[in-house]
Amino acid sequence: MSGFTRRRALGVAAGTAAGLAAAGAAHAAMRSTGPQPQGAHGATAVPGSFDEVYQGRRIQGGPTHDGGHDGGHGGGHHGDHGAGYTVRIDGEELHVMRNADGTWISVINHYEPRATPRALARAAVTELQGAALVPLDLG
C-alpha cells in the first residue's frame, strides 16, 4: 500500500488552505491598525501632539510633561494608563489607555481600538453625536 493516499493529499490541501486563510486574516488586521512607530529598544513611541477642530469640536492631544502623573492637581492619568498622553475634547479630558499592541482605547470607544490618539479622539467625537463629554472621576 502506498504511503501517500488521496485522504492524506486532501488533508495536506485543507491544512495549507487554513494556513493561508489565517495568514491573510493576520495581514488584514495589521493593515487596519497600521504599523506602529518604534522608539529606542523596540518600544512603541509616544505619538506627537495635535490640535484641530473636528465636526465642530476642538480635539487636542499630546504627551504629558510629567509622564502622566498629575501631582494631585486633577486631570492626570491615574496609574498612567495613557502612557503619558492626554486627549481633550472641548477642554474636557477624554480618559485614554494604550494597549499592549500599541493601539489606543477610551472610555467611549473601549471595544474599538484606534491606531492613534487623534483617530481615537475623532471616533469619540463621532460617537458623542454633539453631547458634552462628562469628566470621568477616577479617584
79 located within any domain: yes
Q: Are residues 71 and 105 in the same domain?
A: yes
Q: Are residues 74 and 122 in the same domain?
A: yes
- CA dist 12 and 20 (Å) reads 12
Whole-number pLDDT of residue 134: 87
6 located within any domain: yes
Q: Are residues 64 and 28 in the same domain?
A: no
Q: Are residues 10 and 57 in the same domain?
A: no
Q: What CATH number has the domain bearing residue 51?
A: 3.30.1880.10
- CA dist 137 and 92 (Å) reads 12
- CA dist 137 and 66 (Å) reads 20
134 located within any domain: no
- CA dist 108 and 99 (Å) reads 15
- How many structural domains comprise the chain? 2
Q: Are residues 114 and 46 in the same domain?
A: yes
93 located within any domain: yes
102 located within any domain: yes
Residue where the block lists cell 469628566 = 135
Instruction: Give the range of the structural domain holding residue 54, as residue numbers without chain letter.
Output: 40-128
Q: Are residues 1 and 69 in the same domain?
A: no
Q: Are residues 19 and 62 in the same domain?
A: no
Q: Are residues 19 and 61 in the same domain?
A: no
- CA dist 16 and 107 (Å) reads 41
Per residue of the chain (139 residues), what is the pLDDT tens digit? 556 777 776 666 666 666 556 555 555 544 444 444 444 444 468 899 999 999 999 999 999 875 444 433 344 444 455 568 999 999 999 999 999 999 999 999 999 999 999 999 999 999 999 999 987 776 6
Do 111 and 92 meet the contact criterion of CB atoms below 8 Å apart? no
Whole-number pLDDT of residue 78: 44
49 located within any domain: yes
Q: Are residues 7 and 73 in the same domain?
A: no
Angle at the Cα of 42 from the Cα atoms of 41 and 48, rounded to 5 degrees: 100
Element (DSSP H or E) covering residue 92? strand 92-94
Q: What is the pTM of this model?
A: 0.59
Q: Which of 62, 92, 58 is nearest to 75 (CA)?
A: 92
